[in-house]
Amino acid sequence: MTNPVRAKISALGTYVPPRLLTNADLEKMVDTTNEWILSRVGIRERHVVDKGVATSDLAVEAAKKALAQRGLAPTDMDAIIVGTVTPDMLFPSTACLVQHKLGAAGAWGFDLSAACSAFIYAVQTGAQFIATGVHKRVLVIGADVMSSIIDYTDRATCVIFGDGAGAVILEPAEDDSVGLIDFIHEVDGSGGCFLQMPAGGSLNPASHETVDKKMHYVHQDGQQVFKFAVRKQTEACLKLLERNGLKGSDIDAFIPHQANLRIINATADRLGLRPESVIVNIERYGNTTAGTIPLAMNTAIEEGKLKKGDLVLMASVGAGFTVGAALLRWAY
Ligand code: UT7
């Protein structure tokens, strides 16, 4: 076997729907306050879709921007991987819908289910096709319409989530000075009960009863998820840094999943990161599940914190539980 080819992220596009749902709006819907949401979670506003707009629509807009940035056509893509927990429907996959809407004739694709870790998992999955040399260009998308599975009478969950998408193009890196370096993925299935949408699958197919019992919404034990997220996100990042001979202070941009500002800050402290390296945009978007990391990449670019050769650490914890940490050098 020939040496694996290192993959790089060659372009990024993001998209959020225009409609805003602010903390002031939520104060009118449930028993909550702007002060509670800002201090406990760190969110001021999130974007939500209008009726009839689906995950594939957000994904396509993000993908178009990534393609335009790189000057590539949809037909240049070999494969499309969509990380999402809110597919347009159970089947066909959102990747198939995106392939059609985008006009990416010739590309195959599939959805990847790993909740908030889906973008990191999808990037590493796509990178394997580059590594083996079978593909030259893989479109990787993280996209979720969380508003489609949120109970807007439940204050414990409805203040947290938003809708959004990000897309990257993976291509072979010209040399080892840029591109994906290493990753750690872990799953702890014993945590599945703490964050789930119980109905709509084969265990609890849709029925009047499942709808009446609100089983098609996100159910979360926030404290259990919080504790696991702080502990495992830190552990995975430390392990990854250590085995690459790095310290937290070596990281130029830490791009974590944006679930709770307190989780991000706790992880950053424990890793010994430089404060200016920690990328945060939860205030503007909330938790967009598979969309958070590419949206945060875009924020890093907007803030001038991401340039060619920069060492980037991405991290996530999500339903499953799923855990992801990945190291890369930014390529453009
Ligand atoms: O991306 C997927 C991974 N998900 C996560 O990482 C989420 C992790 N968990 C969290 O971020 C936090 O646990 C939450 C933001 C979900 C909740 O924050 P918390 O500080 O853990 O609050 P809590 O659940 O311990 O609740 C504290 C109090 C409760 O009231 P009592 O029982 O003390 O009277 C809640 O009923 O806060 C109450 N509360 C609220 N109050 C005002 C819960 N939600 C709200 C709200 N507004 N929206």
Q: DSSP string spanning 117-181? A: GHHHHHHHHHHHHHHTTS-S-EEEEEEEEGGGG--TT-HHHHTTB-EEEEEEEEEE-SSTTSEEE
- Go through the chain and tell me how many residues it has: 332
Cβ burial 222-239 (10 Å sphere, 16+ → b, else e):
beebbebbbebbbbbbbe
pLDDT for the residue 2: 67
pLDDT for the residue 175: 87
**Active-site residue (options: 96, 116, 158, 237):** 116
Q: Which domains does the chain have, with CATH numbers?
A: 7-172 (3.40.47.10), 179-329 (3.40.47.10)
Largest CA distance in the chain: 61
Residue nearest to atom 1 of ligand 1 (CA): 259
Whole-angstrom Cα distance, residue 101 to residue 13? Answer: 16
pLDDT for the residue 14: 98
**Number of other CB atoms surrounding residue 73 within 10 Å:** 12
Residue nearest to atom 25 of ligand 1 (CA): 223
Ligand 1 binding pocket mutation candidate from 226, 232, 285, 316 (most atoms within 8 A of CB): 226
Whole-angstrom Cα distance, residue 103 to residue 75? Answer: 7
Note if 257 is an active site residue.
yes
pTM: 0.97
CA angle 282, 49, 145 (to 5 degrees): 65
Q: What is the mean pLDDT of each run of 10 residues along the chain (332 residues)?
A: 87 98 98 98 98 98 98 98 98 98 98 98 98 97 98 98 98 94 98 98 98 98 97 98 98 98 98 98 98 98 97 98 98 96
pLDDT for the residue 172: 98
Pair 323, 117: CB distance under 8 Å:
yes
Name residues contacting ligand 1 (CB within 6 A): 32, 36-37, 40-41, 116, 155-156, 159-160, 222-223, 225-226, 229, 259-260, 263, 287, 318
Residue with tokens 């996959």: 93
Note if 265 is an active site residue.
no
Ligand 1 binding pocket mutation candidate from 40, 159, 289 (most atoms within 8 A of CB): 40
Residue with tokens 């694996």: 4
pLDDT for the residue 1: 54
Whole-angstrom Cα distance, residue 191 to residue 284? Answer: 29
